[in-house]
Copies of this chain bind each other. A is one copy, B any other.
Amino acid sequence: MRWSGLPPLNTLLPFEATVRHASMTAAAQELHVTHGAVSRQVQNLERSLGTSLFERQTRALRPTPQARQLAAIVRDALDQIDAAARQISQHTPAGPLTLSCEPTLLMRWLIPRLPDLAVNVPDVTVHLSAGGGPVFFERDNIDLAIRRDDFPFPEEVSRTRLFAERIGPVCRPDLAARLTGAADLTGAALLHTSTRPQAWDDWRRITGMKAEPASQQTLEHFYLTLQAAAAGVGIAIAPYAVVRDDLERGQLVAPFGFVPDGTSYHLLSRQPPEQDGRVRQLTAWLRAKTSQLENESEQV
């Protein structure tokens, strides 16, 4: 009888996000669901309250004043619960989590973001471990692993898709001047990476571009290759994620943009998926940061 006016609680998150963004599509992106799911939950809430909460103008969605007010209250209420839940979670033993990640992604994407992690997920201390290929959770005492799905994952691990791999040639800005507008890379010096020797071939196959190199060189790791590219030695082929900071700083440019190669990065975890508060928080942070990577796909 108490709380007989309470709407279905599961509708609250989609609703709040929709009000905040004034858009179901944006809310859906934030919550990592389709806009259809959000649409239906918002409808549920509206039916439950017996009122329309948004002005539907085909282009834009306008939350009514009531909706804004309700959203504010919901935000507040969830904040309280969240805070209480965090406190309880963190008061429990809570050792550090060990996260395994492919070396280059670790060095050039994850490590630069650790300060942000420390700010946004202060409750969790993370140990990092560079590694690729199959994950041995038990043997290596690993809790979470980021891996590209270029090999089969064991059935029993829980997986969360993070972002699509997109690869493209990168080089020093002054070298790019000679290339931009050109239909192919013929005559350039191509830098290969021995841990992913087929990267250039993949790219040529996907884009149909030619690349008859004047010279070629193979280096051990992506980060060495990128170092060489930044030094002006030649043109490297690299995943977007590992070079996006360099692109932003202008140390590298990607004259031909990036193309998906069909693979994706996933977050793997052992049996109990994200029923652990720390794992949940870390997962949420990773999903937020990596979805940013995906949204930047436009700016290629």
Contacts and interface: CB of A to CB of B under 8 A. Distances in A.
B82 A5 contact: yes
A88 to B, nearest CB: 5
A73 B285 CA distance: 25
B277 A5 contact: yes
Interface centre among A9, A10, A44, A278 (most CB of B within 10 A): A9
Contact of A121 (B4, B7, B91): B4
Contacts of A215: none
Contacts of A66: 88, 91
A2 B288 CA distance: 10
A159 B116 CA distance: 52
A77 interface: yes
A70 B47 contact: no
Contacts of A245: none
Among A12, A47, A285, the most chain B Cβ lie within 10 Å of the Cβ of A47
Contact of A51 (B47, B78, B92): B92
Interface string A278-300: 10110111001000000000000
A182 B192 CA distance: 101
A89 interface: yes
Given A6-B81, A48-B275, 15 more contacts: A1-B284, A3-B82, A5-B123, A44-B275, A48-B277, A48-B280, A50-B94, A50-B275, A50-B278, A51-B92, A66-B88, A69-B84, A70-B84, A73-B81, A74-B84
Interface of A: 1-7, 9-10, 12-13, 44, 47-51, 66, 69-70, 73-74, 76-86, 88-89, 91-92, 94, 120-121, 123, 272, 275-278, 280-281, 283-285, 288
Closest 9 CB pairs of A and B: A4-B284, A77-B77, A9-B9, A5-B86, A47-B275, A1-B288, A4-B281, A73-B84, A51-B92
